[in-house]
Structure 1
Amino acid sequence: MKVEKELIKYHAVAFSALTAVACFEIFLVIYWFLIQRVIHPHYYLGLLFAVPSLYFAAIAYWSKRRIQKESYSVLTATSAIIFGFVFSLLMLILFSCVMVHDEVSDVTDVESYERVIKLCCFQHDLIADFPDKLPTDAENANLYYSPFAIGQGGQEIAVGFRASTDTTERYLRKFSQEANWIGTENDAAATRHGVFPGIFSCLDGSVSGLSADFKVYVISENPYRSGDWNHGELSLVAISEEKNEILFWASNW
């Protein structure tokens, strides 16, 4: 009977140690995800997810010492392990809350643009003509990224900046050749291509539409039905030669 009790004690210690190792491996995966696969890395918050592994490691260590001192209580160890699992469950709930928050939070800080382009879930053809990073001569840059548009269930991304005349002309030549349609927001044919006044309002704040000096280039268009833009996929560029301003916009909804 005494031998059996001793085996139970050592099994409990081994279980805590193995659980600590498993929790640490899970922590490494979660921490990598929180700093590599989200727009805003959670360097410090991510460290909280190491607590369960540290907790179980401490339980294993102190349990071993108590066995050596012959003052070990299996009931106490069991209670500690149960508490540890409850704490781990709370950590998983926290992780879910963090991910949900990131999925519904808009991003407007221009410094995050490169991570947005790298990590957003848009189909490649919708953002293929977006710059991988802002040009070195870009000024007055603005960014808007909505990873999950509540109500429409889609995504929206837009970036705009002013650049040099050379950069503007380079984009003009490129999109003049690639665009499916070229015009202004007020052209009669614009709505057939999904171009409506105010579509760039997330950048300039004007719901009435772009100024007359902007020309709109439809790069990619895929309406729900021909002429029906209640749902669809659309990628646009607007360029003002007068202001040397370039606006990129894409959405699927």
Structure 2
Amino acid sequence: MKRSLPTRHYGSIQLLQIAVIVLMSLSSIGIVGVGFVVKQGLSVRNHQAKIIKDTSRYREIRYQLWLNQNQVKHFPDRIPADASNVNLAFSRGFLQGSNFFQIKFKLPEQQIKRLLTQYRTVAKHLYRGGNTNEHANLPNGVPTTFFYTSGSQEDSFPSSYEIFVLGANDRGNTEFKWNHGDSYGVAIDSSASEIVYWAEEW
């Protein structure tokens, strides 16, 4: 009996050491796993929040990054030489997120007047100020866009803007209209001589 006690004690210590090693290994694997998940989550968030604002990339976005060229055929071939105060916003949506492309600039008053007349005759829908949520909730309304190029946190167009919808396609279903779709057009503020070209899909 006396000789077996040290053996049992030694066996218990070994078992305890093995248990500690197993627990530490599992903890390490857990920490690495949690770290990976957090990193992936941050990567997704960064991808979602990435908005290109570099105006020098306009033609690349217009002709290469925006896949449906029908939605941007009304956009100018290049930023006009006489345009000023140019703001650009482009984002390729992640998973269920929306894609949007918008460019805003000032033009000489006569050009803005000509564009205003042109788009008034071809627009399928016309709104005064507001944003896509407000427009979609109007009777027979369609989604438009947010004011991504406002230069501020404001996401609605001021009432000085006329928003001309040149196309809107509902790809939702009868139970959830506009769940998926696209819309595109222009918004013009004649008092500020500004025009915003936009395209959005979700």
Q: Give the TM-score band, short-chain normalised.
A: 0.5 to 0.7
1:114 lines up with 2:63 in the alignment: no
Structure 1 residue 207, shift from structure 2 partner: 3.6
Give the deviation of 1:190 after TM superposition: 2.7
Partner of 1:251: 200
Does structure 1 residue 193 correspond to structure 2 residue 142? yes
Distance 1:102 1:121, change over 3 A: farther
Match of 2:31 in 1: none
Normalized per residue, which structure has more helix? 1
Query: In structure 2, what is the Cα distance between the partners aligned to 1:124 and 1:210?
Result: 25
Which of 211, 217, 231 is equivalent to 2:164?
Answer: 217
Residue matched to 2:121: 177
Give the distance between the partners of 2:66 and 2:159, measured in 1 at CA. Answer: 33
Residue 70 of structure 1 is matched in structure 2 by none
User: Could you list the runs of 5+ residues in structure 2 that have no partner in the other structure?
Assistant: 1-45
Match of 1:231 among 164, 170, 180: 180
Cα drift, residue 117 of structure 1: 0.8
- Counterpart of 2:102, as a letter, is A
Higher relative contact order (CA 8 A, sep 6+): 2
Look up the match of 2:68: 123
**CA distance in structure 2 between the partners assigned to 1:185 and 1:217 by the alignment:** 11
Report the counterpart of residue 133 of structure 1 in structure 2.
Answer: 78
Give the TM-score normalised by structure 2.
Answer: 0.65
What do the CA deviations read for 1:125-172 (whole angstroms, capped 9, x no partner)?
21010111111111100111112x124244210000011012211211
Decide whether the 8 Å contact of 1:200 with 1:249 is kept in 2: no
Percent identity over the alignment is: 22
Between structures 1 and 2, the one with greater strand share: 2
* 1:177-228 deviations in Å (ceiling 9; x for gaps): 21101122459x8322113xxx333211344511111000001100224782
Aligned pair in 2 of structure 1 residues 116, 234: CA closer, same or farther (>3 Å)? same
Give the root-mean-square deviation of aligned CA atoms: 2.8
Q: What is the CA–CA distance in structure 2 between the aligned matches of 1:238 and 1:132, rounded to whole Å? A: 18
TM-score normalised per structure 1: 0.52
Q: Which residue number in structure 1 is paired with residue 42 of structure 2?
A: none
Amino acid at match of 1:184: R
Shift of 1:233: 0.7
Alpha carbons 1:125, 1:220 under 8 Å: kept: no
